[in-house]
Amino acid sequence: MISIVGGSGFVGTRLISLLGKSNCFNYDKNRSAFFPSISSFCDIRERNSIVISAKTCAVVLLAAEHRDDVAPTSLYYDVNVEGTKNVLSKMDELGIKNLIFTSSVAVYGLNKINPIEGHPIAPFNHYGKSKWQAEKLIKEWYEKDPEGKSVTIIRPTVIFGERNRGNVFNLLKQISSGKFLMIGKGKNKKSMAYVGNVVAFIKDRIEKNEPGYHVYNYADKPDFTMSELSAIIENKMNLSIPKTRIPYRLGMLGGYVFDLLALVTRKKLSISSVRVKKFCATTQFDATKAHSIFNSPYTLEEGLNKTLEFEFINPKEDDVLFYSE
């Protein structure tokens, strides 16, 4: 039995679909829209609410506070750090020694150049800081009694896919509108991870149950430039995207104008100086280590095409969506 803690969300739902309902059980404080029959309430902040089955052979810990707008900020540490500590304590109680934990490339901080797993850690926000603290707790747990333990820490880059409403979806929506204008030269590259590959990697690590303590970045390769990404969307959706490019400085100026409008109207607008800066930035992460032991079932382009098909070409009518940054 695989116990998934926090499996009602975007990644957990896809993971359960891949593993099969008969092979896993979901523990989450939120109701599962797709798998209520194999789900039970669990708030990892409260140790007594963690009722993982004694038949568990591996725990996949997905539960986390991850949005940028979480308030109070202490929630990041209550869930991501103290919650992890509670899960580890429960695993000790039950003698469970196989753990897969989803961390984040946020532990590296901003503007790092294609960092590998051994790159210096320098998180810049509460999410990254809390994930790094959780990682340190897990390493201490492992080193205290490593005999027979298998620990995998996965640090994914931004994850996208069907039903997800996050930054990649917003970007795909903008480009697929056909009214998209490129800011900058379009040569900046973005590391992304398709959810179908992320859950396949988790499944692979569960099945291998490799002894030891292992850390992997995860991103699907090769990284596309913004121009290449636009061309893929243009081809898939049979669009003709305007070739006009807005100089970066002019784009940032426009972003500041929208910042002022948001301040005056007290509304959250889809364009801002921060979004322009993020759009034009290069955000790459080295995932050589993961791909040296794992063959992803989908190429990055296939993942993008599947998402475009589901979201924009033949959109589904149900309203089950997963929101993230």
Which residues, in sequence order, are bridge partners of residue 322?
164
- CA 181 distance to own-chain centroid: 27
- Supply the pLDDT for residue 35: 97
Higher pLDDT, 35 or 182: 35
Reported confidence tier of residue 325, pLDDT bands at 50, 70, 90: low
Reported confidence tier of residue 268, pLDDT bands at 50, 70, 90: confident
Going from the N-terminus, what domains does the chain have, and what CATH number goes with each?
2-164+190-221+284-297 (3.40.50.720)
Tell me: pLDDT of 83 over 70: yes
Span of 75-84, 99-108, 169-178, 183-192 with lowest mean pLDDT: 169-178
**Are the beta carbons of 155 and 107 closer than 8 angstroms?**
yes
- CA 296 distance to own-chain centroid: 16
Model pTM score: 0.93
Tell me: pLDDT of 143 over 90: yes
Looking at residues 29-41, what average pLDDT do you find? Answer: 96
d(CA 153, CA 144): 17
- Supply the pLDDT for residue 239: 86
From residue 125, give the alpha-carbon distance in Å to each of 48, 114, 122, 301: 30, 19, 9, 30
User: What percentage of the chain carries pLDDT values higher than 90?
Assistant: 77
Tokens of 273: 């100086």
Catalytic residues: 127
Looking at residues 50-60, what average pLDDT do you find? Answer: 95
Q: For the segment 119-139, what is each residue's pLDDT rounded down to a tens digit?
A: 999 998 899 999 999 999 999
Quick count: other Cβ atoms within 10 Å of Cβ 277?
14
